[in-house]
Structure 1
Amino acid sequence: MKFLKAVLFIVFVFAALAVHAQSSADLKRQRDELTRQLDQLNQEYDQTVNNKKATLKQLNLLKEKINLREEKINNINSEIRNLDNQIAESNSSVHNLQSQLSQLKKEYAAMVLFTYYNQSSYNKLMFIFAAKDFNQAYKRLKYLQQIGTYRERQAGYIQETQVELHVKINELDKNKKEKSTLLVDQLKEKESLGKEKETQVQVVADLSKHEGLLKQQQQDIQRKIAKTNKAINTAIRREIEEAKRKAEEEERARQREAAARAKAENKEAPVVKPRTAVKNLSNSEVLNATPEAARLSNDFLQNRGSLPWPVSTGSLKQGFGIYYDNEGIKNESYGWDIKTNQGASVRAVFNGEVTHISDVSGTYLVIIKHGEYFTAYSNLRSYNVKQGQKVTTKQVIGVVSTESSTGEAIVNFAIYKGLDPVNPKIWLVPN
């Protein structure tokens, strides 16, 4: 019974450690990815430092570096906490294994001593031959065999426990060394973070000398965002109105057919104004009026969470929802700002039809219709599709533009259900 409890305990400990090992592996992958992103930002930042005049791009890169550095430090803290838990569990496991080993050795030693002191009294042959009958002799023989087997099994338990104890001690040493390495890495990251924050203060001071120019640049960006949002809203409204117009024409055609049938049958046809019938339809019903549109809407919905990003390589710069700019002014983002490589291709995230292309403050906006859903791609340097063209998933529709004031290549991506913007996070595959 004691052995069974010991085995169950060891199985439980190993299961717990397996969970921690998986978590540790995930944290390490995250730390490696953060390190890779930091290295890439360092290269970009080094290029801007060559310019003696501080730029908005330099400040933005510093902010990204600081955010990533803080995220990496948090990641390291999580790894350290994870290791602390593993070390505590390993210490507990070592203590329990040592107690079990000590108990097993005591029991084994007592059994050996008992056998030694009583070996003349329990001579195997005499013990067997002293039996009353053959059946009892056979049972005594099996009893002696079981004693021998039990001794061998106990010796095996002792050896197995010693091996487990050795493994746990090595694992404990490994975790302690890994924790020591992480603490050193954490200290380096904190030092780098401190230096970057000092540099940020200096860059902000330099930029403040050109405050008027910077405010003008930021205002230009905000005006461009507002114009883009307005253009998207106008284009979608136009699509809805066009869908309603087609629905009205189809209703009139049905009424004419009904009137013709009624006349042929000498009956009075009911008169219903087409607009009265259509105006009660929701935007969703209007946009899904045709079987093709309804099927495309359903396909788009079925792929929620697995749509590809509009660029093959990119990182999220500004998410969906309310945010505050450098001046503390409240803003709202209706989509995602995705930072990518200069000259990167922008691609459709799903099958659909190009319904709108326009120039917004020197860059292009492309809107693709997917039934009642729309995807908008703005801040394009160029486009290679045309209005009314059918496109497929991951088909290249244009090239991202590079912001002259920041030197960054950012594509603005948004998803709408009718006139309502929705968060791309729940639609795009995790990057």
Structure 2
Amino acid sequence: MKLQKLAFILVFIAFAFSARAQTANELRRKKEAIQREIEQLQENLSKTTSGKKLTLQQINGLNAQIRLRQDKIGTINSEIKNLDNQISTNTNTVHTLQGQLGDLKKEYAAMIRFAQRNRNSYDKMMFIFAAKDFNQAYKRIKYLQQFGQYRKKQAGYIENTQQDLNGKIRVLDKTLKEKSSLLKDQEIEKDRLAKDKSEQAVALSKLSKQERQFKQDIASRKKQQAQIDRAIRAAIQRAIEEARRKALEEARIAAAKAAAEARAAAAKAKAENKPAPTATTAPATTKVKSSSEALTATPENAKLSSGFENNRGRLPWPCANGTITERFGVHMVDRASINNEGVYITMAEGSAVRAVFDGKVNTVFNQYGKYIVLISHGDYFTVYANLKSVSVSVGDKVDTKQNIGVIGNTGDDAILNFQIRRISTPLNPEAWISK
């Protein structure tokens, strides 16, 4: 019974350790990804901070760097907590194995003492011949055989338990060293965060001296972005009207065909002196009820829309490497309110921009010397603004991760304005793209 209990404990420990190892690997990968973002952002900032004029992109970059640094510290804290749980589990395991090992050794010692008392063949023969009958004598022979086998098994269990105990002690030592290393990393990141905040304070101090120019830049940015967003909404509206027109045309053709078939059937019945067939209701030719129904009227578009929606939180990024430096929604910049209907992603200059899902290029237009691409996915649309050049045309079908153009510069940085809309309603892209 004790051996079964020991086996159960070891299996449970192995399962728990495997699950925690998976969590540790996920945290390690997340920390490495954050570090890559920080390094890329620092590279971009080092190129732009050399100028005397402070830009909105630099402020956003510094804010994003601080946010990423805080995320990294949070991930390290999660790793430390995970290691604390492992240390606690392994410490309990060591104590359990030590207890089990002690019990096994006591049992084995008792068997050895019994074997010593009955070590000669004469005692064994007397034990067998003292049986009442042949049946009992046979059972006593089997008992002596099984006792010897059990003693060997106990020795094996002791050896295996000792090996497991030594292994857990080694794991425990390794985990303690990992925790010590993570605590050092945590202190380093805290120092770097303090440095980032110091740089942010210097930038904000510099901003106060350039406040007038900075406000003009923000006003210009808001004006340009408002015009771009209006152009995007107008393009989506044209797509809706076109889809509605096609749906109505298809309904009109279907109604005309049904009417022609009804007239032909009536003429045939009259020629054969048969009663005229009952008239069926012609397909309706009224307007499509909603914009969503118009955009998903075809099976292909309905499938695209469903597929896009089912991939919420799993869509690929519109670039291979980048950092979100301005988030979705209304936020304040130097007491000025900015409403961002997408996200701004800073990336390396000349980076390729790619479609996040299968779809059809709905619109390509140029605004302020930069290209904007609108791709439809049923009643969902993705927007890729601030492209230096494009490699797709209106009507092209695109696949997930297909390159559609190359990013251009906004001021000093290469920044993509990426939006996701359902019909004309802007959605937060961070809720849709993978983490």
Classify the TM-score, shorter chain: 0.7 to 0.9
Q: Give the aligned residue type for 1:409.
A: A
Q: How does 1:389-400 map to 2 (within 5 A)?
A: 389-400=396-407
Deviations 1:270-296 (A, max 9, x none): 9xxx9x953352112223344554455
Matched, 1:311 2:319: yes
Provide the residue aligned with 2:380 in structure 1.
373
Matched, 1:412 2:417: yes
The whole-number CA distance in structure 2 between the counterparts of 1:150 and 1:112 is 12
Provide the residue aligned with 2:232 in structure 1.
232
The whole-number CA distance in structure 2 between the counterparts of 1:247 and 1:120 is 101
Provide the residue aligned with 1:382 in structure 2.
389
Provide the residue aligned with 1:104 in structure 2.
104
The whole-number CA distance in structure 1 between the counterparts of 2:182 and 2:127 is 65
Provide the residue aligned with 1:148 in structure 2.
148
Q: Give the aligned residue type for 1:413.
A: F
The whole-number CA distance in structure 2 between the counterparts of 1:249 and 1:22 is 56
Matched, 1:358 2:365: yes
Contact conserved, 1:367 with 1:377, CA < 8 A, in 2? yes
Provide the residue aligned with 2:192 in structure 1.
192
- Residues 291/21 of structure 1: CA separation in 2 closer, same or farther (3 Å cut): closer
Secondary structure in 2 aligned to 1:325? strand
The whole-number CA distance in structure 1 between the counterparts of 2:230 and 2:140 is 97
Deviations 1:22-64 (A, max 9, x none): 1112111222222232233333333445446655444333322
Q: Give the aligned residue type for 1:127.
A: F
Moved more, 310-319 or 11-20: 310-319
Provide the residue aligned with 2:351 in structure 1.
344
Moved more, 300-309 or 197-206: 300-309
Percent identity of the aligned residues? 47
Deviations 1:235-278 (A, max 9, x none): 111222233344455566667777888999799xx9xxx9x953
Q: How does 1:259-338 map to 2 (within 5 A)?
A: 277-279=285-287, 281-290=289-298, 293-294=301-302, 296-298=304-306, 300-301=308-309, 307-320=315-328, 322-327=329-334, 331-338=338-345
The whole-number CA distance in structure 2 between the counterparts of 1:280 and 1:44 is 49
Deviations 1:305-353 (A, max 9, x none): 5544332333333444x34132355544333322222122223334444
Contact conserved, 1:228 with 1:360, CA < 8 A, in 2? yes
Q: How does 1:179-218 map to 2 (within 5 A)?
A: 179-218=179-218
- Residues 146/82 of structure 1: CA separation in 2 closer, same or farther (3 Å cut): same
Q: Give the aligned residue type for 1:32.
A: E
- Residues 289/95 of structure 1: CA separation in 2 closer, same or farther (3 Å cut): closer
- Residues 32/300 of structure 1: CA separation in 2 closer, same or farther (3 Å cut): closer
Secondary structure in 2 aligned to 1:278? coil
The whole-number CA distance in structure 2 between the counterparts of 1:262 and 1:35 is 71
Contact conserved, 1:244 with 1:278, CA < 8 A, in 2? no
Provide the residue aligned with 1:79 in structure 2.
79
Residue 210 of structure 1 deviates from its aligned partner by 0.8
- Residues 248/8 of structure 1: CA separation in 2 closer, same or farther (3 Å cut): closer
Contact conserved, 2:341 with 2:426, CA < 8 A, in 1? yes
Q: How does 1:87-102 map to 2 (within 5 A)?
A: 87-102=87-102
Provide the residue aligned with 1:127 in structure 2.
127
Deviations 1:114-171 (A, max 9, x none): 3324546971122223445444332221111111112212222221221111111111
TM-score, structure 1 length as denominator? 0.85
Secondary structure in 2 aligned to 1:279? coil
The whole-number CA distance in structure 1 between the counterparts of 2:425 and 2:6 is 60
- Residues 55/5 of structure 1: CA separation in 2 closer, same or farther (3 Å cut): same
Provide the residue aligned with 1:172 in structure 2.
172
- Residues 117/394 of structure 1: CA separation in 2 closer, same or farther (3 Å cut): closer
TM-score, structure 2 length as denominator? 0.84
The whole-number CA distance in structure 2 between the counterparts of 1:302 and 1:236 is 22
Provide the residue aligned with 2:271 in structure 1.
none
- Residues 165/210 of structure 1: CA separation in 2 closer, same or farther (3 Å cut): same
Matched, 1:221 2:224: no
Secondary structure in 1 aligned to 2:410? coil
- Residues 302/202 of structure 1: CA separation in 2 closer, same or farther (3 Å cut): closer
Deviations 1:70-120 (A, max 9, x none): 111111111111111111111111111111212222222223223324546
RMSD: 3.3
Residue 372 of structure 1 deviates from its aligned partner by 3.1
Deviations 1:395-420 (A, max 9, x none): 4333222111xx22122222333233
Any gaps of 5 or more consecutive residues in structure 2? 268-275
Secondary structure in 1 aligned to 2:333? coil
The whole-number CA distance in structure 2 between the counterparts of 1:132 and 1:263 is 110
The whole-number CA distance in structure 1 between the counterparts of 2:258 and 2:150 is 97
Secondary structure in 1 aligned to 2:409? coil
Contact conserved, 1:377 with 1:413, CA < 8 A, in 2? yes
The whole-number CA distance in structure 2 between the counterparts of 1:57 and 1:374 is 26
Moved more, 50-59 or 93-102: 50-59
- Residues 171/324 of structure 1: CA separation in 2 closer, same or farther (3 Å cut): same
Contact conserved, 2:37 with 2:323, CA < 8 A, in 1? no
